[in-house]
A and B are shown apart, each in its own frame.
Chain A
Amino acid sequence: MSNPLEFPLGRKCLTGSLTVYTVYTQMFVISQSDKRPMYLQIMEQMKQRIAVGDWAPGQAIPSIRQLAVDIGVSVITVKRAYLELEREGMIVTRQGKGCFVASGSDIGARIREQELAQHLEQAVRSAAMMGLSQKNLEKRIRAIYDRVTDKEKETV
């Protein structure tokens, strides 16, 4: 990043005094084949950016309007994503200053933790739907754990 004032998201392109377009819009993918609502897709991709450290704790992120324009999605949808992320404590909005990734070095870990919790809950729900006992589910998880970690050992 040669210019610290630029958003990490992309370079702004100016016509006259107006910001019309930014460049790295492909970084956000809003997919029609993804069954989730758009605001959830945006949330997830923002979280990924935070989790991998592309958006560092405390770093400025684009305003709602700017991101809406960047990815070509309505302001109201991006606003909803921001509100939900703010509620989850992942980002903060400072009046008149803009939006920032929440400070705290554990934020990436928190996002991964949240992801894991969701996967586990989904797994338990599926198991319950099949009438699988807790013991049985635990056994299955243990087997998968062994298989995956064994594989990792092999590759190392």
Chain B
Amino acid sequence: MNDYAIELNGVCKSYRFFELQDVALRLQRGTIMGLIGPNGAGKSTTIRILMGLVCPDRGEVRVLGHRIPDEQVAAKWDIGFASDDMRLYDSRTLGWHINFMKSIYSSWDDTYAQLLLKRFGLHAEQKIKGLSHGQRVKATLLLVFARRPKLLVLDEPTTGLDPVARHDILRELTAVMVEDGRSVLFSSQNTQDVEQISDQITFIDRGRIIDSMDKEVYLDRWRRLRLEAPSGVELPALPGVIEIQQTGRLAVAIANAFEPHLANAYESSGARVQAVENMTLEEIFVANVERSREEVKA
């Protein structure tokens, strides 16, 4: 048994208009990883590859120790997967789906399913066709959560949900962590969700992984420095600073490898450091994508 719930090495996949390049990814058992990136970055393709739904052109994929796609059947007993394009049977009730899952998975936890029904405000007697989008999402997640799988793989689980429903889902995801050794990989457009519940953050853009690391370390590396440069003082270009915007005497520097000595370096150039601010994942996201777009242009 290795320490990784998910392991991708050198994974490539080419489509006519999109290419996934040399993706390497490691999800440690017992942790939650948030996968973020702009639309079309390759989040869903990555998830489909590790679920064995898409076969990569090259590279190695292991999930819960099983080689994918060859051993995907064995792996999937312990994986709970949910994505937007999953369909429930419209003419059947939620209770019918629950019984269906119960008949397949021995790990099914009926007590937990009943609790989730209540918590998500769903009713077993409801037919799927009568459910709203948000209710369908919650129903799908209930069917996955109550199996108590070792690994949860969720493609945008909170998209299209109202704030209360989102809150409920996030809560259930963190609750999964009470049990040892369970792992979660989820993608999201909502940086706040990712910032709140992930242990690891993986940032993907244009088919490549830009960053993949411990969330606290990641957030800590980024800082916004508010500077005042008296006339005649030129702000030096410093390593670790990816962007400086100056209007008049005031400037804002964005650092993606912040060290306290950066502030000292600005001070000794004659500028004044007014503030060193933490950045939210949302702000980091935008700065990161803009930088990677600049690199493409250059």
Q: Which residues of A contact B (CB under 8 A)?
A: 15-16, 18-21, 30, 32, 35-39, 65-66, 68-69, 72-77, 80, 129
Contacts and interface: CB of A to CB of B under 8 A. Distances in A.
A18 B179 contact: yes
| Residue among A16, A32, A72 with most chain B CB within 10 A | A72
B111 interface: yes
27 contacts: A15-B111, A15-B115, A16-B112, A18-B112, A18-B179, A19-B178, A20-B115, A21-B175, A37-B219, A38-B195, A39-B216, A66-B178, A69-B177, A72-B167, A72-B196, A73-B174, A73-B196, A74-B32, A74-B174, A74-B197, A74-B198, A74-B215, A75-B177, A75-B199, A77-B216, A129-B272, A129-B274
Contacts of A77: 215-216
Given A19-B178, A74-B198, 9 more contacts: A20-B175, A36-B278, A69-B174, A69-B177, A69-B178, A72-B170, A72-B196, A74-B32, A76-B199
B109 interface: yes
Query: Among the interface residues A16, A20, A38, A77, which one has the most CB atoms of the partner chain B within 10 A?
Result: A20
B174 A72 contact: yes
A30 B178 contact: no
Contacts of B219: 37
B196 A30 contact: yes
Range of interface residues on chain B? 20 to 34
B231 to A, nearest CB: 18
A150 B38 CA distance: 57
Interface in B69-122: 109, 111-112, 115
Contacts of A32: 192
Contacts of B175: 20-21, 69
By secondary structure, the B interface counts as helix
B171 interface: yes
Given A15-B111, A35-B278, A76 B177 contact: no
Contacts of A30: 196
B211 interface: no
A20 B178 contact: yes
Nearest to B34: A74
Contact of A75 (B31, B111, B115, B220): B31
Contacts of B32: 74-75
A69 B196 CA distance: 12
A80 B216 CA distance: 8
A86 to B, nearest CB: 15
A72 B197 contact: yes
B277 interface: yes
B3 interface: no
A41 to B, nearest CB: 11
For the complex of A and B, list the 6 residue pairs with the smallest distance between their C-beta atoms, beginning with the closest.
A76-B199, A15-B111, A72-B171, A72-B174, A74-B199, A15-B112
Contacts of B167: 72
A38 B174 CA distance: 15
